[in-house]
Amino acid sequence: MNTLLASSFSLPGQQSKYIGKVREVISLENDLLVMIATDKLSAFDVVMPKGIPYKGQILNQIATHMMDATKDIVPNWLEATPDPSVAIGKRCEPFKVEMVIRGYLSGHAAREYKLGKRILCGVAMPDGMIENDPFPAPIITPATKAEEGHDEDISREEIIRQGIVSEADYIVLENYTRALFERGTQLAADKGLILVDTKYEFGKTADGTIVLIDEIHTPDSSRYFYQEGYAARQAKGETQKQLSKEFVRQWLIAHGFQGLEGQQIPEMSNAYIQEVSERYIELYEHITGKKFIKADVATIEKRIETNILSYLKKR
């Protein structure tokens, strides 16, 4: 299967290009940003060697679906999606933190909890919890945005003390994060899913407006459980049935990789890559309630370039 790992074209009025772990962001004249979702897969902040078919399309279409479903409570950067793997919108100055919010003791929080830690990012976690139990109320556990390497846990107090975000702006980010998580929880419940945890990223436009940027409620930024059978599995101490990138992380852990120095990335077979792609498609269909329509991948990069140029010409 053809996958997009990088683009090589330049656009009219292009000023700069940022290549992230899984996205490319092209800055154009007139404060426009073009975000291309590649098919790269990142886990433990390491990009895997092989792409996942349709992953970029899936992430982009879930993100734009969710941006539309939350724009009444939080303004966002999005203007248009001229290609299944592309979003275009307002240029913003990103805040250098990820607003992680957790409704359940899962993933990174659960791994820290098992090590005996009861404070995460300055927030207390109750004693006596077992993995995948709900917190009494959702907790916000921010992380710094690393240009390279691992993002780092950080507390609200440290963010403000270090001047990473002003206290006034941070209060807005917290309020938006809780409102988005509440909406995301309801949207997931309507589809028979539990939104376990997620992260949001924000930026500030030229006029000082704080807006939601990047992806939202995708399998790369969020963890979902199936609602049906959750309580029974939890009571029996069984693993929860989930839709998220966590199954890739668990596969990597089982094959001796957690992104630590000296560890080798295990080889992913074509069969396993196909399985990962199918899991991403499954989440898309569950969370959006729509049938996934595969875009033409015969010449992905050319398709993307053509669609962007067509949009910019009409704009």
- What's the pLDDT at 27? 95
Mean pLDDT (whole number) for 21-42 = 94
Cα 253 to Cα 110: distance, rounded to the nearest angstrom: 15
Question: For 105-122, what is each residue's pLDDT tens digit?
Answer: 999 999 999 999 999 999
| Average pLDDT value over all residues in the chain | 94
Mean pLDDT (whole number) for 281-291 = 91
pLDDT at residue 150 is higher than 70: no
- What's the pLDDT at 148? 57
Decide if 77 contacts 211 (C-beta within 8 A): yes
pLDDT at residue 256 is higher than 60: yes
What's the pTM?
0.88
- What's the pLDDT at 171? 98
Question: For 53-63, what is each residue's pLDDT tens digit?
Answer: 999 999 999 99
Residue among 37, 8, 10 at smallest CA distance from 22: 37
Cα 241 to Cα 289: distance, rounded to the nearest angstrom: 19
Q: What is the SS3 assignment for 14? A: strand
- What's the pLDDT at 242? 82
pLDDT at residue 230 is higher than 90: yes
What is 94-244's CATH topology? D-amino Acid Aminotransferase; Chain A, domain 1 (3.30.470)
DSSP secondary structure letters along 299-310: THHHHHHHHHHH
Decide if 228 contacts 192 (C-beta within 8 A): yes
- What's the pLDDT at 176? 98
Q: Which two tokens stand for residue 203?
A: 């930026």
- What's the pLDDT at 179? 98
Q: What percent of the chain clears pLDDT 70, i.e. is strictly above it? A: 98
Mean pLDDT (whole number) for 133-151 = 85
Cα 73 to Cα 128: distance, rounded to the nearest angstrom: 35
Q: What percent of the chain clears pLDDT 90, i.e. is strictly above it? A: 86
Give me the count of residues in the chain: 315
Cα 196 to Cα 103: distance, rounded to the nearest angstrom: 5
- What's the pLDDT at 146? 65
Mean pLDDT (whole number) for 277-285 = 90
- What's the pLDDT at 277? 94
CATH number, domain 14-91+248-314: 3.30.200.20
The CATH 3.30.470.20 domain(s) of the chain lie at 94-244
Mean pLDDT (whole number) for 88-110 = 95
pLDDT at residue 158 is higher than 90: yes
- What's the pLDDT at 178? 98
- What's the pLDDT at 125? 98
- What's the pLDDT at 94? 93
Cα 237 → chain centroid: 28
| Helix orientation angle between 246-254 and 270-288, rounded to the nearest 10 degrees | 160
